[in-house]
């Protein structure tokens, strides 16, 4: 595997048909819907079609999803999403997900190392940005430690139940 997308701990790889079951579990975990803007469950068939039609061409689709897998055994532990890719301004929104039982082990940091190098050296991006609920202190701390800085707060941006919550906009200039 290329050093650009892999280190001794984690590997960023393309989606594979064998990821169907794990994607089904992650996409239908209702506790995650608040950060993914999901409003209804996905069927296995819908996800299967997504996997079949997904090209991984960030220029054509304006997004890219990679699986974060453990390097030693290819076990999927999360995803990296480049969203709202803007090739004119060389920027993309970043989404990072680590499976609940794998959090706190430094895997997010490992993935951020790879994402940053890939974004800068391969995609030629100038900046990455993330939206994080202001009450998600662990996630905000991770991105701050990595060099992202908060450049604003968007008030009442996400709805959870019947209440609205603020979101921090964080940015890293590469």
Domain boundaries, the chain: 3-124
CATH number corresponding to 3-124:
3.40.630.30
Structure tokens at 51: 């996997």
pLDDT digits (tens, 9 = 90+) for 99-109: 999 999 999 99
CA distances from 1 to 4, 14, 71, 103 (A): 8, 12, 9, 24
What is the CB neighbour count within 10 angstroms for residue 109? 14
pLDDT digits (tens, 9 = 90+) for 38-93: 888 889 999 999 899 989 999 999 999 999 999 999 999 999 999 999 999 999 99
- What angle (nearest 5°) sits at the alpha carbon of residue 142, between those of residues 139 and 146? 140
- For residue 33, the model assigns a pLDDT of 76
What's phi and psi for 162, nearest 5 deg? -110, 5
pTM of the model: 0.92
Kindly state the DSSP code that residue 62 receives in the 8-state scheme.
Answer: S
Kindly state the DSSP code that residue 43 receives in the 8-state scheme.
Answer: P
Residue 103 CA to residue 122 CA, distance in Å, equals 27
Per-residue confidence band for 12, with pLDDT thresholds at 50, 70 and 90: very high
- For residue 84, the model assigns a pLDDT of 96
The answer to whether 86 touches 106, Cβ cutoff 8 Å, is no
Pairing of strands 127-133, 91-98: parallel
């Amino acid at each position: 595997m290329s050093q650009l997308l892999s280190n001794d701990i984690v590997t960023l790889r393309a989606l594979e048909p064998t990821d169907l079951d794990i994607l089904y579990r992650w996409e239908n975990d209702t506790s995650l819907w608040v950060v993914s803007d999901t409003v209804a469950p996905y069927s296995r068939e819908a996800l299967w079609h997504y996997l079949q039609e997904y090209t991984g061409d960030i220029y054509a689709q304006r997004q890219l999803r990679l699986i974060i897998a453990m390097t030693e055994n290819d076990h999927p532990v999360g995803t990296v999403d480049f969203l709202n890719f803007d090739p004119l301004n060389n920027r993309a929104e970043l989404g990072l997900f680590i499976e609940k039982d794998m959090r706190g082990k430094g895997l997010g940091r490992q993935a951020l190392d790879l994402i940053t190098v890939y974004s800068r050296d391969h995609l030629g991006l100038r900046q990455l940005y993330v939206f994080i609920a202001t009450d998600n202190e662990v996630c905000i701390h991770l991105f701050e430690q990595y060099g992202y800085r908060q450049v604003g707060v968007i008030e009442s941006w996400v709805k959870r139940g019947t209440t609205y919550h603020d979101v921090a906009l964080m940015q890293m200039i590469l």
